[in-house]
Chains A and B, each alone.
Chain A
Amino acid sequence: MILLQLVIDGLLLGAVYALFSSGLTLIWGMMNVVNFAHGDFVMVAMYVAFFAFTLLKIGPVLFIPLAAVVLFCLGVAVYYGLVRHVMRGPMLAQIISTFGLALFLRYSALWAFSANFVSLPDNLVGGTFQFGELRISAAQLLAGITALALTLGMHLLLTRTDLGSRMLAVSEDRTAAALVGIRPDPMQALAWGLGGASAGVAGALIALFFYVSPEVGNSFTLLAFVTVCLGGFGSVPGALLAGLAIGVIQSFSAYWLGPSTKDVVVFALFVLLLWVRPQGLLGRA
């Protein structure tokens, strides 16, 4: 029974990882740029949710979309202000640009909000569901199901709609897409917007059951890297499966080896994966 409990906890958490990682993988797939600030986007969204609740007195039904909108705008702004200009520059500029952004976001948050942990009240989405011996917290269930639905929605958007086809065209070949009348810039900005929004929703969902602090972004960035790497760079379904798998791995390693080791296992897995199979388990060579 405890095994089933661990699997369910892991899957619910993993769905949220899958959501923000799908944003990272979308950005990578569109323009071969890694967003080193992705976890810090999640951190910003968590603060948006926290302050929306404490200052504006609005509940999850409103602050989750709010976080999505704010982070969508942040993503688009980062694209037009920074990424667009470094994309075809030297590798050094590409890599350090979003890393600088990560530092800026993390330490601005530290400066403005101090290093203290804050959290939303436990009973915001209260209660637990009891099925026999299984206990599932309502907040985690809500987060997991919302994240799962939105990740699938993102996949459908990219594969089943006209807009998705345009984005795919730009990611395949910028110049050719421009020749058939698709302007690459708005499509790439949209990818950053969607990437930001996915981190936005995920952050607001995580804030329902996890503390908020300026430093949380670092481990989310690494988690997103592991997920994207495991699922194959650029693949949203891959990120979904990998996210779920990593959630389960984390919940098992926390149970068997102690809570402090759950990051060690995931980071070690990441390093191993990059070394052994850089294209990801489901990725193409």
Chain B
Amino acid sequence: MRIAPGSLAAAAILLLLAVAPVATGNPFYQHIAALVVLAAISASAWNVIGGYAGQVSFGHAVYFGTGAYASLLTFDKLGLPPIAGAPLGVLASFVLSVVIGLPSFRLRGHYFSMATIAVAALAQVLVTNWGFVGGAIGLMGPASPRSIADLLFRSALPYYAIFLGVLAVLLACTWLMQRGRTGFYLRALGSGEQAAASLGVPVRRYKLYALLLSGAFTSLAGSLYAVFVGFIDPDSGFGILISVNMVVMSALGGAGTLFGPLVGAIILVPLEEITNAWFGGSGTGTAYVAYGIVIMIIARFAPGGLAQLWQLFAWRRRRAA
């Protein structure tokens, strides 16, 4: 059996991810590692609809915020552990996917992206003005652990393990999807919707399947974020930058590839943490200047992201050999 260099590299990355943070023993690095995997979950979830199916959503913060608010509302209103809200968030994301997706999927290309921006902006304003969910102030998680179910740990390692588990499940789902009929349908409609429809791909149904999977895991990422950070407000849940992160990480690593978003997260999250450390409070802005440049460079020179460059490199080497 011949093993492709791509999957070998991927296995090496996963192994490194599993071992490195434990090995360093440095709490700061462990914290960053947890953030990397968390970002990789939402970026990989975005990738299902935005990368494979080619429907570029700038509004995935809607799902992220739904998950985050579901978990902290469960704690705030019912007194249950925040993580108990995660399934509720996933259920809500299904409803949202159908309600938003069915009408939006009539729109193609730029129109779809414009609609997603507006939906997210609308959601953010509504949540900000809705007192029941904490309005502009937001919601807090439990201050001190009441039981193990509250998932409050001093170290970032337990979170890291949980996030890694969820990421593995998501990547397994994506891999299965990619190999099967759904994957072919999605890639077909991603590269040419009219052509796909004319060949008998049930376009809107498969877009909806992709959005259901994508929204569910984005919502789960939001719930995990809320458990990890213990605080959520309209900006950190529904803000446009939440969506931006998913787009830029997928695009950098390679939209529509299995490991692209993970690679993007591994590169960009530490970069953002470093600029934050350098520039202090004003650092967030600086990171997004860089993201803007990264996005423009990818769009201009390598729309396939690093995955495309890697393939180019591998192809050259094979031809030389």
Contacts and interface: CB of A to CB of B under 8 A. Distances in A.
Interface of A: 32-34, 36, 82, 85-86, 89-97, 99-108, 110-111, 114, 218, 221-222, 225-226, 229, 260-261, 263-264, 267-268, 270-271, 274-275, 278
Contacts of A105: 292
B194 interface: no
A104 B299 CA distance: 14
Going nearest first, the 10 A-B pairs with the smallest beta carbon separation are A100-B295, A104-B292, A103-B292, A97-B299, A275-B103, A93-B303, A107-B288, A110-B285, A100-B296, A93-B299
Given A96-B295, A107-B292, A264-B126, A271 B118 contact: yes
B139 interface: no
Contacts of A36: 113, 117
Contacts, number: 137
Given A92-B54, A92-B303, A111-B289, A100 B294 contact: yes
Nearest to A102: B292
Given A111-B286, A218-B240, A275-B104, A97 B110 contact: no
B56 A107 contact: no
A263 B103 CA distance: 21
A95 B115 CA distance: 13
Given A92-B54, A100-B292, A107-B286, A85 B300 contact: yes
Nearest to B193: A91
B165 interface: no
A107 B241 CA distance: 11
Given A100-B294, A110-B285, A218-B240, 8 more contacts: A36-B117, A93-B299, A96-B247, A97-B300, A99-B247, A104-B293, A229-B114, A274-B111
Contact of B291 (A85, A100, A270): A100
B119 interface: yes
Contacts of A260: 125, 129
B48 interface: no
B121 A222 contact: yes
B295 A90 contact: no
6 contacts: A82-B299, A92-B56, A94-B299, A105-B292, A264-B125, A268-B122
A106 B239 CA distance: 15
Nearest to B244: A103
A107 B122 CA distance: 22
A124 B290 CA distance: 37
